Structure 1
């Protein structure tokens, strides 16, 4: 090959490699294209588009499932967290080692500024603070899309993994989750269920496109009532409604237990109307791990707890 031909061939190869490198690796993350920005990534999320440095050293995290995912992936760059009731695997965040930057519903802007973060990660509960938080540091939202719950959870985990360059570990763990979902879905096999939240004496039911969508989309239950409205807070119902629908399974979440209050669900459901249902008679009332499903749903560890809740109770 003469010198001119070699140069042309080299340019062609470089062009092909460059074209491949510019291909988006998934819908919500765009790798930067110049050498100076190789250490950054642009994340498109439900509240906007944010360019962030990879491997940020000081991260404030409000989204509990993200903390759960980071723990599994061995990411220890967190400097600030909300005051909350943490599960055992996240109990270290109760310590004074981590700045307390508000609660999951109300952020403390001054505490966040004092923590001097490189990145802030929020969920749906903190959406109203997005603009104010973005003035302090780059902020991304990892809220979930209930109409595609499993896909949304997977995307959030992959975003965190790419941001901290632990994609291989995340892929390995997600493959395990996928296998377990498929196994339990075969066991459930389209059985009919109602998802019921008990909040003291009040009852709400949730649709297959609600915050508890994993039960239907990922684990294979069929909703007993397709007319339930898609709502963040569910649809208020009566005990008589439960008896009228009479599903094979009642899947119950105790809000009091989830938020650190008194657990009342079993007491509230201990009445003659509920006892008349097939679910009660056949021992098919499933009480979910309340904190996990209500606060910590969809983390890389917590999603396995969610799967276990069904796998261990399906008959």
Structure 2
């Protein structure tokens, strides 16, 4: 009996030790307190962690956030033609982030966002209807991505987090490099040469003027626009017909498009009759990733880095 009693007591001592070992090393009152700060977004003042560690961004600003010192664990900076993958120019920067959708969509999977256990969620005005629901998960910052002037969007997002100086420094360095590359292109292909970039997609031809690759060529690199260019008045890209495209007198063309649309274009006698095509001065680029690329600071830099090799490869 005595032996059985001792065995019984040993069992409870062992259980007690195991329970004690399973407790968290920190009691609730000893846990680290998260320091909060107040920032101002498009809705007003909001309290957020001073040093957020688990940021979910569905606004489309994940690339901007990375450039001002933040990492995201969830993103909607997916490819414009395949929402399940990252555009190639962001594969390295956002390699560890889970793709949650596409930034121009009004709604995302709330359960997927919740599963990431974020301490900060960033949305754009496009996703405003999700604000109240997401606010129950973590503090929410709402930004406005106008997609017209990339510098304005960059500085707006950076300003919310008090990182304007870092943003401006990156912009200045990028513009200095773009201008230098532009001067090198002028020296190689002629100071008076003109450049056109357009997107062939879903049977339509969209001209890049003040957005996308066009704004890189004209505004950042200082290259010349051709005669006959339609002007972009808002976020929408100007649309032209094949005849309208042929009437734009460009010396060099960057033709961006889907495989199907580019094939249709290349079979057109009107296209074949344009000056740049006849002289072999056309760079053919896939819609993915080049459609989105000009809307991302990192994408813009990637294009500036490769544009000379793209031009050099025209006649190979």
> What band does the TM-score fall into relative to the shorter chain?
0.5 to 0.7
Is 1:250–1:286's contact at 8 Å kept on the other side of the alignment?
Answer: yes
User: CA 1:93 to 1:220, structure 2 compared with 1: closer, same or farther past 3 Å?
Assistant: closer
Alpha-carbon deviation of 1:198? 0.8
Distance 1:41 1:178 in 2: 32
Report the equivalent of 2:155: 155
Q: Per-residue deviation at 1:107?
A: 0.9
Find the partner of 1:213 among 215, 220, 234: 215
Counterpart contact for 1:99–1:111, Cα < 8 Å: no
Determine if the alignment matches structure 1 residue 180 to structure 2 residue 177. yes
CA–CA separation in structure 2 for the residues paired with 1:116 and 1:294: 32
Change in Cα spacing, 1:128 to 1:290, as seen in structure 2 (3 Å) is farther
In the TM superposition, residue 71 of structure 1 has moved relative to its aligned partner by 4.9
Give the TM-score taking structure 1 as reference length. Answer: 0.64
Rounded to whole Å, the distance in 1 between the matches of 2:41 and 2:216 is: 24
How big is the shift at 1:58? 1.6
| 1:201-240 deviation digits (Å, cap 9, x = unpaired) | 3222243257853332212234434543424342332211
Q: Which residue of the other structure, out of 223, 238, 241, is the alignment partner of 1:238?
A: 241
Between structure 1 and structure 2, the one with the greater Rg is 2
Partner of 1:12: none
Who is 2:204 aligned against?
202
Deviations 1:101-129 (CA, angstroms, capped at 9, x unpaired): 34432411233234332222235764664
Taking the aligned partners of 2:247 and 2:274, their CA distance within structure 1 comes to 9
TM-score by length of 2: 0.64
Tell me the alpha carbon deviations over residues 154-173 of structure 1, each in whole angstroms, 9 at most, x when there is no partner: 5257448856x9x66x6765
In 2, are the aligned partners of 1:121 and 1:141 still within 8 Å (CA)? yes
Unpaired stretches in structure 2, ≥5 consecutive residues? 1-34, 77-82
Deviations 1:261-283 (A, max 9, x none): xx334323212211111121233
The equivalent residue for 2:24 is none
Compared CA separation, residues 42 and 119, structure 1 to 2 (3 A): same
5+ residue gaps, structure 1, are 1-37, 257-262
Question: Does 2:81 align with 1:60?
Answer: no
Q: Secondary structure at the match of 2:205?
A: strand
Q: What RMSD over aligned residues (CA atoms) do the two structures have, in Å?
A: 3.9
Kept in 1, the 8 Å contact 2:58–2:75? The answer is yes
- Aligned partners of 2:84, 2:233: CA distance in 1, in Å? 27
Aligned residues: 262
